[in-house]
Structure 1
């Protein structure tokens, strides 16, 4: 194995290490929501903000991706992001009141946003034609971190109490910081873009196709944030033990990882992404229907279908977005626009579910709203033919 190959493997490991730390700050919340509500007196609407606020901040920061790249630079921006995640998680050991938890949610969201905003362009530049596979590994790593956090949260809380179950995720985030800087120091392709040069990209906010991609990513990610925040409380309300509900979410996210790996391995066979998109959207819709009509007898079936659908949809959404642009700098700007608006859209779903739970003491209505959104995605996905990618340059509607 050559030195170049070893360096490239190290860069991939650094990317995966970053990805693993992008969801535990959110995923550990769901299985502990009832404990947090009992300890802090927060309502379901208020605790939903522990998921909504980070996702909202992720969206706002992603929209400012170009300015962030010029201000911090790619390498240091990503390094600062993972450091903020470590700090936010660590502070949760003592910040156990409602205001402290909400503040750390915002800080964690800022850190996640920095990494997610800057890393796709880095991947596109460093891996070229292999960027699609690395992006799939990256998104799979995101879901893998969520799986571990969700499955272990209730057990850690039982052993150590819930503040430590939230704070423990500072450790892997802190370890990811030196790994990232070591990888980029050794890889010549990781040299930062010159921040003094203005990238005169098209104004994506005036582009019809960019808005379609944003809406697609936002609604699809809304399914992920909804399940992440509210699947465990939903089953706890149906009589399950918190540990069992956490394991259900953990199993779902493991299925997401498997789906993400399948996308990484197979995506090259589908230059037209519409067939895999329609397949995974059908799985997602079927999983939501299971939650609505028979949540107890079909719990495992619902978990499997939701995991396969969400796990494949997330990387596919990013891959389809980056398919539209060849230039790495413009691809990063498009990814920032799509993820920025998309995460703002996605942040609405956990909040809406919290409001519905306070009003009706049930989450069935939230699953129904999400199912309607997925039907809309099925209709929208038909528009994403390879022949239509030129609209990102020409369509100014």
Structure 2
């Protein structure tokens, strides 16, 4: 029990670190954007080929649901490891290991076996989990004066990678002798190239600089705002992975060709690129982000219902609306992690919490779509799932938009090993 004369312990001051400037900062920013580009093709490339994979491997709808869910689940399971790995090896070296693991897992999916599909998806998901957590923390650390623009570029690159995979995977498969295995494995190439580009930065002076003392971040799991940020991230991600995993099969089931369905998904994601550039600066300028977050969730839910039930002649219109909603809510959710954190160290831990708990929750979305399709033989029942996820995301987005920082009630430190 503390005495009346005890004074509260101030948070330990982190040692001075080299902050990149000029050309080094520009190179770092470009590299982070290239890394972000590779964090979503794993999901979108599988989606557009799912009917072919089901037909040629004999997967049931339920097992296909497990396959689309597995990498999303790995995002949640492995995200808590990222802050500890970054503290031990440095953010730069940890990201290099992530790129190598991502390239290896993506290549393994092209083995052609069901085991290769599942194991490769798990490895790629584990790598992506680490990147998801550390990239926002790097933005908070090295781009403190350009948070809005960098978060916009980051989310733009994420959307761009997903859009490229949605648009080009099926044409690639057709060009490679109708080989879905080669088309899936192709997306290991850009990850490997970026790993080569990133290696000199991660193994150079920035990657080997002395680590700061390990600061304990406690209290996040008891903070209501941290949970609201987490649930906002998780529920909007569930909608996003339902879209990336199942929108193309849904549209093909409604009568669109495989190429056209892929182009619709790609067009929607490409619009997310533009919206993701606009939302972070808007969010930063707002007194709070409550209306912005909730409104974007409403737009997303309405658009998904339109794609399920509206005439196919309006599919491009609803794809545009979906792009506005999902691009906005995803970039808003990432921006909440940065805005609700007092510094980069807390941002890494809040990002870990939001993306570990959030992505485990998000994994339920595509799994339920597959199960509902298996049980009902169609996709109409998923409307109830989309409505429930949109309402939940909107409520938590409203509260996550409060102009506050998460509360960390203990800032103890210990020397780094």
When the two structures are superposed, what TM-score results if normalisation uses the length of structure 1? 0.92
Asked if 1 retains the 8 angstrom alpha-carbon contact of 2:339 and 2:405, the reply is: no
Deviation string for 1:215-273 (max 9, x for gaps)? 11100011100000101101111121111111111111101111111224534432422
* Among 59, 68, 81, the residue aligned to 2:85: 68
Asked if 1 retains the 8 angstrom alpha-carbon contact of 2:294 and 2:397, the reply is: yes
Q: How does 1:1-397 map to 2 (within 5 A)?
A: 4-93=21-110, 95-160=111-176, 161-183=179-201, 194=211, 197-294=213-310, 296-387=312-403, 389-390=404-405, 392-393=407-408
Consecutive unaligned residues of structure 2, counting only runs of 5 or more, are 1-19, 410-417
SS of the residue corresponding to residue 369 of structure 1 reads helix
Q: CA RMSD in A?
A: 2.1
Relative to structure 1, the CA distance from residue 315 to residue 244 in structure 2 (aligned partners, 3 Å threshold; closer, same or farther) is same
Q: Distance in 2 between matches of 1:209 and 1:145?
A: 31
Give the deviation of 1:68 after TM superposition: 2.4
Asked if 2 retains the 8 angstrom alpha-carbon contact of 1:29 and 1:50, the reply is: no
Tell me how many residue pairs correspond in the alignment: 389
Asked if 1 retains the 8 angstrom alpha-carbon contact of 2:47 and 2:246, the reply is: yes
The answer to which of 257-266 and 9-18 deviates more is 257-266
Structure 1 or 2, whichever has the larger Rg, is 2
SS of the residue corresponding to residue 363 of structure 1 reads coil
Consecutive unaligned residues of structure 1, counting only runs of 5 or more, are none
Flag the structure with higher helix content: 1
Relative to structure 1, the CA distance from residue 42 to residue 137 in structure 2 (aligned partners, 3 Å threshold; closer, same or farther) is same
Asked if 2 retains the 8 angstrom alpha-carbon contact of 1:27 and 1:229, the reply is: yes
Q: Distance in 1 between matches of 2:192 and 2:242?
A: 28
Corresponding residue number in structure 1 for 2:413: none
Give the deviation of 1:5 after TM superposition: 2.2
Q: Distance in 1 between matches of 2:142 and 2:236?
A: 27
Q: Distance in 1 between matches of 2:143 and 2:350?
A: 18
Asked if 2 retains the 8 angstrom alpha-carbon contact of 1:10 and 1:183, the reply is: no
SS of the residue corresponding to residue 37 of structure 1 reads helix
Give the deviation of 1:51 after TM superposition: 2.3
Q: Distance in 1 between matches of 2:358 and 2:401?
A: 21
Q: Distance in 2 between matches of 1:331 and 1:198?
A: 14
SS of the residue corresponding to residue 382 of structure 1 reads helix
Give the deviation of 1:285 after TM superposition: 2.1
